A and B are shown apart, each in its own frame.
Chain A
Amino acid sequence: DSGVTQTPKHLITATGQRVTLRCSPRSGDLSVYWYQQSLDQGLQFLIQYYNGEERAKGNILERFSAQQFPDLHSELNLSSLELGDSALYFCASSLNRGETETQYFGPGTRLLVL
């Protein structure tokens, strides 16, 4: 158990809908990262937050947004969902800004868009 929790574990929804994925980092970790893993795109880094502020942005679509709250949990919002958004979404956390730190991964949220 990495100490990172993600909810829900599974999510099935329809095209055009909006969903929110939630991540709670390990106790004391200030950085949260979001990743997407799909069959056609592989693993992709989406975004990193450090202590409530966006720190690094990857291949995150404009239909997607994220935030980190004062209690350091993070949410990833996916809107106007398309079939191609079906994927496994991972959250990870690290102690500080993360340049040379170990990232601890949650179990992922599996999203299926029908």
Chain B
Amino acid sequence: GIQVEQSPPDLILQEGANSTLRCNFSDSVNNLQWFHQNPWGQLINLFYIPSGTKQNGRLSATTVATERYSLLYISSSQTTDSGVYFCAVPMNRDDKIIFGKGTRLHILP
């Protein structure tokens, strides 16, 4: 089945820094999602991004479907950005959604 790999697994940054999180996937997909799970466990759907680039405030995401990767950029990090970032892709054939293991981001004040 399709494999989803995220890197780095952990990232510690100072407040104000920029970060890039990567998601690689092993097969062609028709969509890709990024999620954020805050330290209290709440999940938030950040982007649907099958291809191209989208921006939402300090966050942006780019998916290059032909090269099977997506990047999530966080600029001017804030402590509230801490948590785990997951990417997820649907399997084209049977609608299962496969999650990566996540990148745990710690933003230090």
A to B CB contacts below 8 Å, 12 in the list: A2-B42, A43-B88, A45-B88, A45-B97, A45-B98, A56-B97, A57-B96, A58-B96, A101-B48, A102-B45, A105-B45, A107-B41
A104 in the interface (beta carbon within 8 A): yes
Interface centre among A35, A43, A48, by most chain B C-beta atoms within 10 angstroms, is A43
Chain A residues near B (Cβ < 8 Å): 2, 35, 42-45, 48, 55-59, 88, 90, 92, 99-105, 107-108
How many residues of chain B are within 8 Å of chain A by beta carbon?
Answer: 19
Bound together, the chains give a CA A104 to CA B46 distance in angstroms of 10
Q: With a CB–CB cut-off of 8 A, which chain A residues contact B83?
A: none
Q: A99 and B31: CB pair below 8 A?
A: yes
CB-contact partner of B99 in A42, A101, A102, A104, under 8 A: A42
Chain B residues near A (Cβ < 8 Å): 31, 33, 41-45, 48, 50, 86, 88, 94-99, 101-102
Chain B minimum-CB-distance residue to A108: B41
Q: B95 and A56: CB pair below 8 A?
A: yes
Given contacts A45-B98, A55-B95, A59-B96, 14 further A-B contacts (CB under 8 A): A35-B43, A42-B102, A43-B86, A43-B88, A44-B99, A45-B96, A45-B97, A56-B95, A56-B97, A90-B43, A92-B45, A105-B44, A105-B45, A107-B41
